[in-house]
Amino acid sequence: MDRHLPPNAALAALRIDGARLWQSLMDLAQIGATPKGGVCRIALTDLDRQGRDLFVQWARGAGCSIRVDAIGNIFARRAGQDDNLPPVMTGSHIDTQPTGGKFDGNYGVLAGLEVVRTLNAASVRTRAPIEVAVWTNEEGSRFVPVMMGSGVFAGAFTLEHALAQRDAQGVSVGEALASIGYAGQLGPAPAVGSYFEAHIEQGPVLENHARVIGVVTAALGQRWYDVTVQGMEAHAGPTPMELRRDALLAASELVLEVNRIAVQRAPHARGTVGTMELFPNSRNVIPGRASLSVDLRAPDDAQLLDMDAALRAACARIATERSLQITVEQVVYFPPQPFTPQLVQAVRANADDLGYSSMDVVSGAGHDAVYLARVAPAAMIFVPCDDGISHNEIENAAAEHLEAGCNVLLRAMLAAAEVVA
């Protein structure tokens, strides 16, 4: 299968409409718009319904048929010459963080819609059907697990498990889906021919290297831990330095060690302590207990296991040296997920053909595409976002970069779906 477009002059000149894509993004961002320019459109709320309804209206307007599955994923289908072929799919999510931006997720969905509109305008017909998916509850702000819709679709967990989850008010996913009218049809997930997802990078690498397209080769595996350091609280005044069992001192060594574990495994490994709570957390009391989170990420499981071993060894060493207890409990594991080499190469080659600067990157965060890669050939296209900032109302991206990513998506999907007329 040739992942380049056929050498057809008209097709080679085919481009998406960047202004139309931008306008779609701005229009959808009105639903749940925040005063600071961001979006608050939490999964399965009425605002989510309004966003879904707008997408469905646009997709129907572009000639697509709509299907909703039992976890509320929406599939907008542009028929192919042979509708028995598994579709070439793209998509992402339109739910946001409580103080989210206009681009995270929304870009991937509306880039898919823009591909459909572009094909319609140029009367391009494909052999395989094309589908644009809107995955339910990627963010996990209201209901966990995160990436819920794509997780159910890929069999990462069951539909029943997902539907039974409740928010802080006790409302279940099933109830919330029914209340917004997006509890769709039961049935097995249909086969997917290939899956592409365009997304803002949510990190600083592309901007830092001044590249337009990130060719995403893999998503990092993740191991998250709860670590507790148990020392002995004591008065800061009367207790000499050598008789202390200071939990914060041990925790601080561990923070530096977590950083070292990742730095030593450059460029892709990550190590982060994001939370720390001290007890009793009083100005003149030596901390008796420190609870912290550790987040380790790596592109392959061997490296991630190696980091796990280094973390546990560091905890054991620090505990012995400082005469205190350190417990380590793993609470989350996402395996590393390589994307499909042929599709990754299609992204890279089409970026080159279009004259966009690009570089290979890994995805440090989870995305719906990571679950889709379990059941279909899959790849992702990253574009830069300002200062790498996301999950923030000031999240921003350049229109020309969003347009470039969408052009790469168009060509990669056309190559996969095969142009017949």
Which residues of this chain interact with a second copy, rule CB under 8 A? 201-205, 208, 220, 222, 224, 234-243, 246, 248-249, 251-253, 255-256, 259, 262-263, 266-267, 269-276, 278, 281-287, 293, 295, 297, 363-366, 388-391
Question: In this structure, how many other beta carbons lie within 10 angstroms of the beta carbon of residue 34?
Answer: 17
Provide the minimum distance between the beta carbon of 366 and a second copy in the complex, in angstroms, as a whole number. Answer: 8
Please, which contacts does 319-322 make with residues 24 or more away whose CB atoms are closer than 8 Å? 319/229, 319/250, 322/231, 322/245, 322/246, 322/249, 322/250
The amino acid occupying position 341 is: P
* CB nearer a second copy, residue 201 or residue 418: 201
Nearer to a second copy, 69 or 257 (CB): 257
The CA radius of gyration of the chain, in Å to the nearest whole number, is: 24
| Calpha distance 385→69 (Å, rounded) | 32
CB 219 within 8 A of CB 329: no
By beta-carbon proximity to a second copy, the closer residue of 278 and 414 is 278
State in angstroms the smallest separation of the CB of 99 from a second copy. 10
Min dist. Cβ of residue 230 to a second copy (A): 16
Q: Which is nearer to a second copy, 19 or 243 (CB)?
A: 243
Instruction: Tell the smallest beta-carbon distance from residue 292 to a second copy (Å).
Output: 9
Q: Residue 343 CB, nearest distance to a second copy (Å)?
A: 21
CB of 195 to a second copy, least distance (A): 20
Q: In terms of CB distance, is 146 or 178 closer to a second copy?
A: 146
The distance of closest approach from Cβ of residue 93 to a second copy in the complex, given in angstroms and rounded to an integer, is: 16
Q: Which DSSP category does 99 fall into?
A: T
- Cβ-based nearer residue to a second copy, 191 or 256: 256
**Amino acid at position 2, single letter:** D
**Look-up of token digits 């001044």:** 210
**Smallest distance, a second copy to C-beta of residue 361, A:** 9
CB of 73 to a second copy, least distance (A): 23
* Residue 362 and residue 140 in contact, taking contact as beta carbons nearer than 8 Å: no
Q: What is the DSSP string of 338-390?
A: EPPHHHHHHHHHHHHHTT--EEEEEE-S--HHHHHTTTS-EEEEEE--GGG--
If the CB atoms of residues 205 and 398 are measured against a second copy, the closer one turns out to be: 205
DSSP 382-408: EE--GGG--SSTT----HHHHHHHHHH
Nearer to a second copy, 10 or 266 (CB): 266
Residue 294 or 372 having the CB closest to a second copy = 294
| C-alpha separations of 12 from 85, 191, 213, 354, 419 in Å | 25, 29, 19, 9, 12
| 108 contacts: CB under 8 Å, gap ≥ 6 | 90, 91, 92, 93, 197, 198, 199
For 264, the 3-state DSSP assignment is coil
**Distance between CA 199 and CA 248 in Å, rounded?**
39
